[in-house]
């Protein structure tokens, strides 16, 4: 009888990390890696940075080449969507795709019984009502999305005096959403010479992720570079007449803001309160994402804001999750968390693999001997979260939790150079720290402040000591 495979759903950074860890920790049975895109696993953070800018080609984003994947002996199914999961039997339903035998390519509802499943399907980009089918309105989540946008941005003019695209060579780019993705894309588009307007519901860019004071510092940099910042809610789009051939609803010509919108930091509504049109040749919707869990309909699973897991990344017996899609009980923070950050994806993929193998070994140790070496006991997944963002010449890096803080203390070290540090607290403890433009040595010292729970006053003193030590060290 053929052994049942472990299936990893999601050929992502988390999925690849899980697959590699399964082999490294001793799984010798069949191993299936399923991805809905046709591409080999690739790195997503450069999509809105180096790839969009044109500095990198797609090949540089590959996490592993085909030759590097070969030793894993994967049943690699690219271009294949998982459409269902029966939790009790650990059976996946798939729609076929690359890697599926030719005689099965047109079969609907192929099933795959598994010894265990790791779900690493990530997230999908959110859109706006009425945006679908309008030429020039885009989202940015996949490699294909980024390549399409890069092609459209490649003809920008050189920045002219005063930070405005010169000679009309650049496109009028409106980016809806002033979070991390929107700010990164705005920086790239501006560097490529386009006229950029960044629109957000919140007045301060990235305020939810970094707080008001650090967000204001980033806003200063965007304005200095020529980005127009607007506060408002998008009410719709203006377009050219629909294509008579019926291939779309026309080309976008403007973004319409409800109630006129507000120029950020000015506090005065523009357009007389009757709505403002922002001229646009290209619109990027960067309004967040939703966990890719719509295919998980089994009532045994909780899919509220991601796939709910315990501290071991288990959603159900034999079913684990990792990466952007996983909402798990963080042991130190005492509440369920979900992170859409690259480092977490890799670390959680490895943790899910290790804990799944430990569970399988405990379930049937005799049967598992042929498939896996003895596994360690399951261990709770308790990382120190890390994220970074590159905008212009600025590098923003953070450890711990910065969103949802009830207390933030920011120190601007050098406003002209946009150098700053911020400490984030919740319920009397320090939970996160962020730095803009600081060297790696200082970052390591700051990470130590939030690596374990620490009272706010003690953490604040440690941050001050780290900064003083950094100033005293050549």
Confidence band of 289 (pLDDT split at 50, 70, 90): very high
Confidence band of 108 (pLDDT split at 50, 70, 90): low
Question: What is the tens place of the pLDDT at every residue in 30-67?
Answer: 999 999 999 999 999 999 999 999 999 999 999 999 99
pLDDT value, residue 364? 77
Question: What is the tens place of the pLDDT at every residue in 120-132?
Answer: 999 999 999 989 9
pLDDT value, residue 268? 29
Average pLDDT over residues 2-27: 95
pLDDT value, residue 170? 86
Higher pLDDT pick, 367 / 55: 55
pLDDT at 98 over 50: no
What percent of the chain is modeled with pLDDT above 70? Answer: 86
Confidence band of 375 (pLDDT split at 50, 70, 90): low
Query: By CB neighbour count within 10 A (0-12 exposed, 13-18 middle, 19+ buried), where does 241 fall?
Result: exposed
pLDDT at 474 over 90: no
pLDDT at 275 over 90: no
Mean pLDDT of the chain: 88
Whole-model pTM over 0.85: yes
Higher pLDDT pick, 371 / 325: 325
pLDDT at 464 over 60: yes
> Which of 268, 242, 211, 269 has its CA nearest to residue 420?
211
The secondary structure of residue 449, as a DSSP letter, is H
Which range of 168-177, 184-193, 450-459 scores highest in mean pLDDT? It is: 184-193
Distance CA 118, CA 315 (A): 10
pLDDT at 234 over 50: yes
pLDDT value, residue 37? 97
Distance CA 293, CA 140 (A): 19
Containing H/E element for 349? helix 342-363
Distance CA 180, CA 187 (A): 11
Question: What is the tens place of the pLDDT at every residue in 395-450?
Answer: 999 999 999 899 999 999 999 999 999 999 999 999 999 999 998 888 889 999 99
Q: What are phi and psi of 109, to 5 degrees?
A: 75, 35
Place of tokens 């020039």: 136
pLDDT value, residue 262? 64
pLDDT at 242 over 90: no
pLDDT value, residue 363? 85
Distance CA 85, CA 68 (A): 30
pLDDT at 86 over 80: yes
């Amino acid at each position: 009888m053929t052994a049942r495979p472990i299936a990893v759903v999601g050929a992502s950074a988390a999925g690849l990390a899980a697959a590699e860890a399964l082999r490294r920790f001793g799984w010798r049975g069949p191993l299936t890696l399923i991805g809905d895109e046709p591409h080999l696993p690739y790195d997503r953070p450069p999509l809105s940075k180096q790839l969009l800018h044109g500095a990198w080609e797609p090949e540089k984003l590959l996490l592993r080449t085909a030759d590097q994947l070969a030793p894993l002996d994967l049943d690699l199914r690219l271009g294949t969507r998982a459409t269902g999961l029966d939790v009790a039997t650990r059976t996946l339903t798939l729609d076929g795709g690359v890697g599926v035998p030719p005689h099965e390519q047109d079969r609907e509802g192929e099933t795959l019984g598994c010894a265990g499943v790791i779900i690493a399907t990530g997230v999908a980009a959110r859109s706006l009502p009425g945006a679908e089918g309008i030429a020039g309105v885009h989202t940015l989540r996949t490699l294909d999305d980024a390549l399409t946008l890069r092609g459209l941005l490649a003809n920008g003019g050189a920045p002219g005096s005063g930070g405005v695209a010169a000679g009309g060579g650049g496109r009028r780019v409106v980016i809806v959403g002033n979070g991390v993705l929107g700010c990164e894309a705005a920086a790239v588009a501006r560097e490529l010479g386009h006229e950029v307007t960044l629109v957000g519901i919140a007045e301060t860019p990235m305020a939810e992720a970094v707080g008001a004071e650090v967000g204001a510092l980033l806003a200063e940099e965007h304005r200095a570079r020529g980005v127009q910042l607007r506060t408002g809610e998008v009410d719709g789009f203006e377009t050219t007449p629909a294509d008579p051939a019926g291939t779309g609803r026309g080309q976008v010509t403007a973004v319409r803001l409800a109630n006129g919108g507000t120029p950020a930091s000015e506090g005065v509504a523009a357009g007389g309160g009757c709505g403002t049109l922002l001229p646009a040749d290209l619109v990027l919707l960067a309004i967040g994402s939703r966990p890719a869990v719509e295919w998980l309909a089994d009532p045994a699973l909780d899919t509220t804001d991601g796939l709910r897991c315990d501290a071991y990344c288990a959603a159900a017996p034999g079913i684990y999750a990792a990466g952007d899609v996983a909402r798990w009980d963080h042991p130190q923070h005492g509440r369920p968390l979900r992170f859409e950050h690259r480092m977490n994806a890799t670390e959680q993929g490895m943790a899910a693999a290790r804990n799944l193998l430990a569970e399988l070994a405990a379930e049937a140790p005799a049967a598992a001997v042929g498939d896996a070496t003895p596994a360690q006991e399951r261990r709770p997944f308790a990382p120190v979260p890390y994220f970074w963002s590159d905008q212009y010449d600025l590098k923003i890096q953070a450890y711990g939790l910065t969103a949802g803080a009830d207390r933030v203390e920011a120190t601007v070290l050098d406003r002209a150079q946009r150098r700053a540090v911020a400490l984030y607290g919740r319920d009397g403890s320090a939970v996160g720290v962020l730095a803009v433009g600081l060297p790696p040595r200082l970052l390591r010292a700051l990470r130590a402040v939030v690596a374990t729970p620490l009272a706010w006053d003690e953490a604040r003193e440690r941050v001050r000591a780290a900064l003083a030590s950094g100033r005293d060290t050549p």
